[in-house]
Structure 1
Amino acid sequence: MNFTVTDAPERERFEARDSSGVLAGVLTYQLTGSIVAYTHTKVDPGFEGEGAGSALARAAMDDARAKSRTVVPICPFLSGWLDEHPEYENLVARSTRKIK
């Protein structure tokens, strides 16, 4: 299934919608300067296992890269997703790396 993901900054979240516009899931964040903390991912039960969570994670990380932000992955789903996507490692704040 394909999802369209958009940033809704007034709600501090990314939203994934299916082709008919139904909200499938959200990834919430908190932004402080150039640091973005991704706090929670929630996918509607009707869309679980369809790729909405992954679409949200990829869109959020691509947005952080495009805006030169440092990512703090508080959300367990996103943390696990990042373990499988090392191409985003240079954006992630870890205990062994300084935040600029």
Structure 2
Amino acid sequence: MAVRDNKDRSRFELDVGSEVAFANYRLSPTAVIITHTETPRALRGRGIGSELVKGALDLIRRDGRKVIAGCGFVVDYLDRHPEDADLVA
């Protein structure tokens, strides 16, 4: 499963079967502000949200940007993954 940046909808997306987990974002000049993450109810508890955030952070890193966690799930993810601390604006 690969996370993609749907620039038209300003969100990162992860397809899981016929469902889509997503993380909405806004751009600032140097950072991506993740404002909301959502995993379909049927997929919760399977690590899909974490996989989505990890993939989003990988794309953000590749683009040379920083991240601002505007969503509690992303805050918690970053607290559990100090290896991504270099991305935090």
Q: What TM-score, normalized by structure 1, do the two folds share? A: 0.82
The equivalent residue for 1:12 is: 10
Verify the 8 A CA contact 1:24 1:52 in the aligned structure 2.
Answer: no
In structure 2, the gaps of 5 or more residues are: none
The partner residue of 1:62 within 45, 58, 74 is 58
Verify the 8 A CA contact 1:15 1:23 in the aligned structure 2.
Answer: no
User: CA RMSD for the aligned pairs?
Assistant: 1.2
Verify the 8 A CA contact 1:24 1:47 in the aligned structure 2.
Answer: no
Relative to its length, the structure with more helix (as a share) is 2
Which residue identity lines up with residue 86 of structure 1 in the other structure?
A: P
Larger RCO of the pair (alpha carbons < 8 Å, separation 6+): 2
Verify the 8 A CA contact 2:2 2:55 in the aligned structure 1.
Answer: no
| Count of residue pairs the alignment pairs up | 89
Matches within 5 A, 1:72-91: 72-91=68-87
Which deviations, in whole Å up to 9, do the C-alpha atoms of 1:29-87 show, x marking residues without a partner? 00122211010001100000112101110011111111111111011001101111111
In structure 1, the gaps of 5 or more residues are: 94-100
Structure number with larger C-alpha Rg: 1
Matched residues, percent identical? 36
Q: What TM-score, normalized by structure 2, do the two folds share? A: 0.92
Distance of 2:60 and 2:4 partners within structure 1: 13
